């Protein structure tokens, strides 16, 4: 879908990468965006956005539309791009200055990728505006919707109050999420964790696979350190892989590290904690003292000599470690241990495992399953977990994982039933009432239940309900 070429810049120059079209003309906008984006945020986000931008810029080159044209012209080109290149249907909403993009069977991208494409386009024009290289408002933002959002913010009761004050008309998160995008996608269902991966047998299987990989001699100490950090901190993979020396030192605080989180724009503002697991510290110490020095291009033997901005993890060639490199090792070794877990899982599922097991332990600590369950403490501490440990900006994000606990027992019972069916063990049929012996009295109430003690005592105990007791009392009154 793209005819744009990527060329390496001259060493020592400002531009390390240049982009040219099919005719060999330099694409100034994309080259400038890439240069600025190299200094902002993680490289993985930049590369993902670049992959989405390349087809659009190829389309601009084919149609002759300039990337820095007025918003009206850029929007018309965007609509043609979605129709002709992505096979989407377009429904205009002229009253709100936006269009709805509807994927079809001919659309080569998944809905999640379309979302990333829109984010990439919006990010490109935001960067160009900040660099004063685009003289117009962001064409991916509806000016009408922005004005309506501004009016709404003014109408919110006690708009300046924080959420915890309890007097604001609506939460800041709700206000922030008011739509302002020119391109609108059909509202998809909210993401939910895979409940099957949260059941006991799967969680045990994931731990079993990780333990086997950590015991495997063919897997390097670097990959083992990353796996242990994933399991003990619940961090995202890129947060661990792109850890810097300064973030690991964390101003001398042992057992903690500062990482670049999602949406932090390259700033190390999230703290991960691994103080209480000595295995993590041993793996990291072994890697930093015995393995990393062999891969250091500057031949430094002491980690204290490494600059704060340099990466903790290196490749065998001495280049910065990457998420792509980790996945290469993961798919090499993981298939050997896949049968140890009932379902296939990815490194990102280790993050979900961490959240699930923390919530289970927190519920137990708050007295779940007893008459003394402290619901207020559970609510308070799970929100603190979301903001402090996971680094979520929205307090309600934890609800997605907590609600998934509701159906866990149902799936466990279903699994037990299916196991019994596989063993030809069926639910017992209702017992047929025994025939009444000829010598038995005919006035015995059918509701009575008989329990026999061991044969040594040969005694019968009657467990009566209210109706049976009333019958016994009437029979006693009839006796002479």
- Architecture of 195-361 per CATH? Orthogonal Bundle (1.10)
Given pLDDT bands bounded at 50, 70 and 90, which one contains residue 169?
Answer: confident
CB-CB contact of 274 with 229 (8 Å): yes
464-470: list long-range contacts, CB under 8 Å, 24+ apart: none
At 447 the pLDDT is 44
CB-CB contact of 272 with 239 (8 Å): yes
Radius of gyration of the chain (CA): 32
- The number of beta carbons lying within 10 Å of the beta carbon of residue 217 is 5
**Phi, psi values for residue 346, rounded to 5°:** -115, 170
At 42 the pLDDT is 76
At 480 the pLDDT is 55
67 to each of 33, 396, 475, how far by Cα in Å?
A: 12, 39, 99
Between 87-101, 275-289, 334-348, the lowest mean confidence (pLDDT) is in 87-101
pLDDT for 425 beyond 80: no
pLDDT for 336 beyond 90: yes
> For residue 456, what are its two tokens?
């040594």
Mean of pLDDT over the chain: 83
**Range picked from 260-269, 412-421, 468-477 for highest mean pLDDT:** 260-269
At 476 the pLDDT is 67
In whole angstroms, give the CA distance from residue 344 to residue 208.
13
Given pLDDT bands bounded at 50, 70 and 90, which one contains residue 160?
Answer: confident
> For residue 39, what are its two tokens?
């200094």
At 172 the pLDDT is 75
At 183 the pLDDT is 85
Given pLDDT bands bounded at 50, 70 and 90, which one contains residue 449?
Answer: very low
**Phi, psi values for residue 269, rounded to 5°:** -115, -5
pLDDT digits 0-9 by tens, 394-422: 777 888 877 655 565 666 677 677 777 77
DSSP letters, 376-397, are: HHHHHHHHHIIIIIS--SSTTH
At 454 the pLDDT is 46
149-155: list long-range contacts, CB under 8 Å, 24+ apart: 149/175, 149/178, 149/180, 152/178
Give the mean model confidence (pLDDT) for residues 20-29: 87
pLDDT for 52 beyond 80: yes
At 154 the pLDDT is 80
DSSP annotation of 425 reads: -
In whole angstroms, give the CA distance from residue 168 to residue 182.
29
Say how far residue 338 (Cα) sits from the centre of its chain: 21
In whole angstroms, give the CA distance from residue 112 to residue 109.
8
At 405 the pLDDT is 58
**Range picked from 7-21, 300-314, 418-432, 447-461 for highest mean pLDDT:** 300-314
In whole angstroms, give the CA distance from residue 319 to residue 317.
6
**Range picked from 203-207, 421-425, 476-480 for highest mean pLDDT:** 203-207
Domain limits of the chain?
A: 5-159+180-184, 195-361, 449-478
At 456 the pLDDT is 42
């Amino acid at each position: 879908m793209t005819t744009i070429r990527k060329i390496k810049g001259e060493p020592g120059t400002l531009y390390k990468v240049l982009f040219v079209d099919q005719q060999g003309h330099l694409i100034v906008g994309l080259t400038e965006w890439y240069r600025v984006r190299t200094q902002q945020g993680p490289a993985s986000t930049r590369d993902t956005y670049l992959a989405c931008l390349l087809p659009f810029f190829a389309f601009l080159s084919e149609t002759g539309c300039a990337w820095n044209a007025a918003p009206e012209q850029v929007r018309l080109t965007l609509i043609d791009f979605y129709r002709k290149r992505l096979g989407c249907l377009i429904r205009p909403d002229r009253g709100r200055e936006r269009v709805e993009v509807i994927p079809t069977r001919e659309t080569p991208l998944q809905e999640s990728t379309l979302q990333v494409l829109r984010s990439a386009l919006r990010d490109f024009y935001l960067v160009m505006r900040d660099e004063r290289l685009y003289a117009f408002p962001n064409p991916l933002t509806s000016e009408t919707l922005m004005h309506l959002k501004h009016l709404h913010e003014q109408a919110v009761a006690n708009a300046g109050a924080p959420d915890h004050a309890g007097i604001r008309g609506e939460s800041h998160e709700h206000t922030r999420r008011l739509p302002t995008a020119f391109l609108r996608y059909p509202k998809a269902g909210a993401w939910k964790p895979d409940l099957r991966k949260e059941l006991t047998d799967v969680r045990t299987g994931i731990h079993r696979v990780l333990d086997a990989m950590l015991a495997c001699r063919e897997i390097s100490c670097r990959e083992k350190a990353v796996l242990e950090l994933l399991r003990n901190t619940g961090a995202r993979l890129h947060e661990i892989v792109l850890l810097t020396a300064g973030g690991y030192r964390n101003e001398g605080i042992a057992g903690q590290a500062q990482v670049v989180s999602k949406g932090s724009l390259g700033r190390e503002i999230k703290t991960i904690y691994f103080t209480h697991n000595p295995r993590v510290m041993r793996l990291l110490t072994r890697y930093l003292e015995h393995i990393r020095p062999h891969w250091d291009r500057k031949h430094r033997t002491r980690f204290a000599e490494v600059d704060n901005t340099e990466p903790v993890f290196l490749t065998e060639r001495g280049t910065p470690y990457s998420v792509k490199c980790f996945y290469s090792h993961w798919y090499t070794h993981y298939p050997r241990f896949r049968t140890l877990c009932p379902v296939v899982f990815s490194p990102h599922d280790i993050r979900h495992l961490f959240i699930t097991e923390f919530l289970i332990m927190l519920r137990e600590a708050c007295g779940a399953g007893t008459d003394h369950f402290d619901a207020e403490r559970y609510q308070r501490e799970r929100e603190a977990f979301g903001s402090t440990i996971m680094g979520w900006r929205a307090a309600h994000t934890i609800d997605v994982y907590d609600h998934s606990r509701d159906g866990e027992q149902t799936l466990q019972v279903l699994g037990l039933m299916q196991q019994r069916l596989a063993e030809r063990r069926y639910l017992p049929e209702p017992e047929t009432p025994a025939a009444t012996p000829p010598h038995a009295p005919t006035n015995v109430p059918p509701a009575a239940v008989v329990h026999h003690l061991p044969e040594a005592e040969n005694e019968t105990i009657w467990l009566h309900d209210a109706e049976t007791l009333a019958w016994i009392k009437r029979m006693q009154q009839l006796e002479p």
